[in-house]
Structure formats: structure tokens, C-alpha cells
Amino acid sequence: MLAIVAPGQGSQTPGFLSPWLELPGFRDRTEWLGAVAGMDLVEHGTNSDAATIKDTAVAQPLLVASGLVSLLALFDHPADGFATVGVGAGHSVGEITAASAAGVLSAEQAMVFVRERGRGMAEASAASETGMAAVLGGDPDEVASALEAHGLTAANMNGPGQVVAAGTADEVQALRDAPPAKARVVPLPVAGAFHTEHMASAVTRLGGYARAISVHDPRTPLVSNADGCVVASGREVLSRLVNQVRSPVRWDLCMKTLADLGVTGLIEIPPAGTLTGLAKRGLPGVETLALKSPDDLDEAHRMIREHGSPVEPTDAPTWRLVVSPVKGTFTADIGAESDVRPGQVVATVNTLRESHDVKAPHGGHVIEWLAEPGDPVGPGQPLLRLHPHEDSA
């Protein structure tokens, strides 16, 4: 199974977009997405210095645009990707890239959304001096205790030995002055305490815009930053994109889900490197590729051939599947022959620590359950077949 992942803020470097603009059509497409975002993304991706592209309002549209444009080099047509990629995910703002690539949002919707996200988070960051720092190594319990003692939030849980702390500048500096035993604290080139309550005003702003956005259900399974769940509803994907601005990124759980799904190959789209490095530690045995420049395309196309799963195109379905969001034990919450409303909870999947509701993204009539109560199920596993109602077909 092939996974395509999109990196988050902090992965950008000056000039990283330059080699991609040499490919036919890339400059035109980047200029168009820049026009939608209201900024010169070609200039920012080629000539702007590190300080300029660190600006949240610039960095976030630049990251999403570069990721979306690079996908043009992986697949001749977006539908080729839908039929080949087994799962998609993105870290923080990269989740917008992944959602657009999966068909939840158009490229233009994604650029408007990320433009407003960047502006809202930049304004929230300017309200007080905040920041983030990576805590590398150390005992996990001691790291957690140190963050709590300094009033910091574990904003990114990136995998074993890497936690990103976020809070006020003074809190981050205090952690740097007194790091946990056997841990290094490295400040990150971001403008604020992202994925914490310091970003609440940006969430309010995005929530208003989200109510006006029309979405589609993902055509490729998406793994959510919030909890590592597979999300099958476009409306839920959008809701999670809004709320992730002030919620911790659980990339560790995303990688666990990728492993549970049986991912064998992972390609990170530009500006690549960060997530590939995490996958080398967190997903042993999975082949990885950081797509840094067009020089890597031959290797990427080989991985797509070897790890992708071509699916024959079909007409509109006469039934729809409801799938498990996580790995756990299945329990049905409705009976056979039931009628289901869109968004209704139809089942529960219990893990060792918590329970996850399974919601039907579409309305319909139950045809059959595909799992028995008490069965172990995996993320993305079909649980229920629904015959859609006429108004939800």
C-alpha cells in the first residue's frame, strides 16, 4: 500500500521551489494558486529569504501550493492518484494539502482556506509573544512533567523521542534553560504557539468560513492529525481542519494507523524531508522517499508502480460502505434493516484506552453488517453496507 504525506510549517527553505518551476506548466499553475491566495508564491518559493518565508501568512499558502503543484509530476491526471494511493495524510497545515489531494476541497478552496488560516494564526501569534521548541530524547514521562511544570503544551507528538512544546516565549526559554534529563531543546522557526489555545481566535475565524464551503467525501482514505483515525466524511475532514489549529498534532498516532493499514511505501511531497525522517524511525520496514526535487521523480514513479494499488474505475455505487476509523474491537449500535441518517452513529470501535464512534457519512438503508460484534477490526476496514436513499445517492 502506498501513502502520500504532506509536511507542515517549518519544512520550507529558501529557494526550495526553484527546480520544480523548470517543469512544463508548473510556473503557470503556481502563479494561478498565488493569485487565489493573493500573493506572489513564485517569488516566495524562489527568491524570498528565510525570514520572509517564516512568516506564517506566507509560509502556509506556500507549503500547500507547492505540495499540490508537485502532485502534477507524480500523476498525469488526479484520477490516477485516486486509483493508486492507498492513504493520505498531512502534518498540521499539510493536512489541507492532503485533503485537497483526496478531493475534499478544490485547489482553489484549499488556497483560500489556508490563506485565511495563515492570516488568522499570524494575528493570533502577534497578540502575544509565543513560540515552539522540539524536545529531542529524554524519558517520555520526564518530558511530559517538564512541559507541565513550565506551563507548556505538547503541541506535536511526532513519534518516539520527539515532542514539540508550545507556549509563551518565556515558557519556552525556561524549558531551554532547564531541559529534561538526556533531552535537547531546539527552538523551531515558527512565529507562534500553534496547536494550542493561543490560536483560539483563528479557530473562530475559520469556523465561520467553513460553514460556507461545499466539500466532497475523500476519494482516498485520509488519516487525521487529531487522533490518527481514518476519516470518511468530507464535512468531518473540514471540521477537523478548523479545530486542529488549536489542537495537538498526533503524528505518532497517524504513523501507527499507517502501519495498521499495511502501508509498504511512503512518499513525502515538497518541501520534503521532515516526515520521511520520522517515518524511518516510526515505520520500520516501510520504504520512504523525500521528493525534494524533480531529480527524485524516477524513483517516485517506481515506488508508485511497486506500492500502488490500481483500481478499475466504476460507475456511481448502488451501495456505500461505512468503515472503521481505528484499530480495535467492533460493536454495532443499530440493528439490521435500519434506516440511517447522514452523520448518525452506527457503531463503536473500542481501543485499549478509549471508544470511537463510527458515523455514517451518507444516509441509507442497512444492507448488511460486514463484521460481527466483538470482532477485531482495523482502520479503513468496511463494517457496513448501506443502500443510499434517493436524496443521498
How many distinct structural domains can be found in the chain? 3
Where is 386: in which H helix or E strand?
Answer: strand 382-388
- 71 and 202 share a domain? yes
Q: What is the CATH number of the domain that holds 359?
A: 2.40.50.100
In a domain, 74, yes or no: yes
Sign of the CA dihedral running 32, 36, 40, 43: negative
Q: Is the peptide bond before 271 cis (omega within 30 degrees of 0)?
A: yes
User: Which stretch of DSSP H or E encloses residue 261?
Assistant: helix 251-261
Is 192 inside any structural domain?
no
Give domain status of residue 167, yes or no.
Answer: yes
**Which of 227, 229, 156 is CA-nearest to residue 195?**
156
Final residue belonging to a domain, choices 272, 307, 342: 307
Residue 312 lies in a domain: no
Q: Does residue 290 belong to any structural domain of this protein? A: yes
By residue range, what is the domain housing residue 300?
2-124+197-307
CB burial of residue 31 (10 Å; 0-12, 13-18, 19+):
middle
Choose the final residue of a domain: 187, 211, 236. Answer: 187
Catalytic residue among 92, 100, 247, 324: 92
Q: Which residues of 80-104 are buried (b: 16+ CB within 10 A; e: fewer)?
A: ebbbbbbbbbbbbbbbbbbbbbbbb
User: Which 3 state secondary structure label does DSSP give 262?
Assistant: coil
Last residue of a domain, one of 254, 274, 307: 307
Q: What is the pLDDT of residue 192?
A: 87
Same domain? 176 vs 224: no
Does residue 206 lie within any of the structural domains?
Answer: yes
Tens of pLDDT along 227-261? Answer: 999 998 899 999 999 999 999 999 999 999 999 99
One domain for residues 77 and 148: no
Are 115 and 227 within one domain? yes
Q: % helix / strand / coil in the chain, to the nearest 5?
A: 40, 20, 35
The whole-chain average pLDDT of the chain stands at: 91
For residues 145 and 68, state if they share a domain.
no
Residues 58 and 133 in one domain: no
Q: Distance between CA atoms of 132 and 162, rounded to whole angstroms?
A: 13
Indicate left, alpha or beta for 349 from its phi (over 0: left) and psi (-120 to 50: alpha). beta
From the candidates 44, 195, 198, 362, which is the catalytic residue? Answer: 195
44 is catalytic: no
Q: Which residues pair with residue 164 across a beta bridge?
A: 134, 156
Instruction: Write the CATH number for 278.
Output: 3.40.366.10
Residues in a beta bridge with 369: 384
Query: 118 and 166: one domain?
Result: no
62 with 209, same domain?
Answer: yes
**pLDDT < 50 positions in the chain:** 311-316, 392-393
Q: Is 195 a catalytic residue?
A: yes
Same domain for 237 and 295, yes or no, is: yes
Note whether 258 and 180 are same-domain residues: no
> Would you say residue 315 lies in a domain?
no
Same domain, 342 and 215: no
Whether residues 61 and 207 fall in one domain: yes
**Is residue 314 included in any domain, yes or no?**
no
